[in-house]
């Protein structure tokens, strides 16, 4: 029956499919990072209470030190506790993210590769964030 067939704009359908695939890729990357973190810290996580550990930043004791092979000297771990308790609720995640990116870029004198490595994000994500925040 020809009346039951609805024509679909193939161009918008393709764009929507690509957006969904990109989001799935980002989710896969996030899951892989979480798996890696859990494998590395499985011993230290057993000592934690049964509270939801995703609600808290890791303490400095549980943060592994980055060892450089010489190609990325002076990169520090970006997962240090950065928020004071009294500041909670007064600042948005986007503001925090922007400030952290600005500080890392300043610390590495604009070197985006080192900044991305220190923040444990891809260079492509860093470029997107720089554009998003007009840095």
Q: Measuring CA to CA, how many Å separate 37 from each of 47, 48, 122?
A: 16, 15, 16
Structure tokens at 9: 């704009």
Q: Tell me: do 89 and 34 sit in the same domain.
A: no
Q: Are 79 and 121 found together in one domain?
A: yes
26 assigned to some structural domain:
yes
Say which residue, 100 or 48, is predicted with more confidence: 100
Let me know whether 117 and 70 are in one domain.
Answer: yes
pTM (two decimals): 0.38
Per DSSP, 59 falls in state: P
Beta strands per DSSP E along 1-135: none
Residue at 51 is within a domain: no
Residue-range definition of the domain harbouring residue 106: 60-135
Exposed e or buried b for every residue in 79-111, given b needs 16+ CB within 10 A? beeeeeeeeeeeeeeeeeebebbeebbeebeeb
Confidence of residue 62 (pLDDT cuts 50, 70, 90): low
Q: Is the domain of 31 the same as that of 67?
A: no
Q: State the total domains in the chain.
A: 2
Q: Are residues 82 and 118 in the same domain?
A: yes
Helix (H, G, I), strand (E, B) or coil at 76: coil
Does residue 134 sit in the same domain as residue 76? yes
71 and 24, same domain (yes or no): no
Q: Which residue has the higher pLDDT, 49 or 22?
A: 22
**Lowest-pLDDT range, 43-47, 112-116, 127-131?**
43-47
- The span from the CA of 100 to the CA of 98, in Å, is 6
Query: Structure tokens of 67?
Result: 């060892």
Structural domain contains residue 104 = yes
Residues 80 and 127 placed together within one structural domain of the fold: yes
The model's pLDDT over 26-50, given as tens digits with 9 standing for 90+, comes to: 888 888 888 888 887 775 545 454 4
Residues 74 and 111 occupy one common structural domain: yes
Are 83 and 28 in the same domain? no
């Amino acid at each position: 029956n020809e009346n039951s067939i609805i024509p679909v704009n193939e161009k918008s359908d393709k764009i929507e499919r690509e957006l969904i695939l990109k989001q799935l890729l980002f989710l896969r990357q996030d899951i892989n990072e979480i798996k890696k973190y859990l494998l590395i810290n499985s011993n230290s996580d057993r000592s934690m209470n049964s509270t939801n550990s995703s609600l808290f930043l890791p303490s400095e004791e549980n943060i592994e030190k980055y060892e450089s092979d010489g190609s990325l000297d002076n990169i520090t771990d970006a997962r240090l506790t950065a928020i004071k308790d009294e500041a909670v609720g007064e600042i948005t995640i986007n503001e925090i993210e922007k400030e952290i990116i600005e500080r890392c870029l300043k610390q590495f004198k604009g070197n985006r590769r080192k900044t991305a490595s220190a923040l444990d994000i891809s260079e492509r994500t860093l470029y997107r964030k720089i554009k998003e925040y007009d840095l």
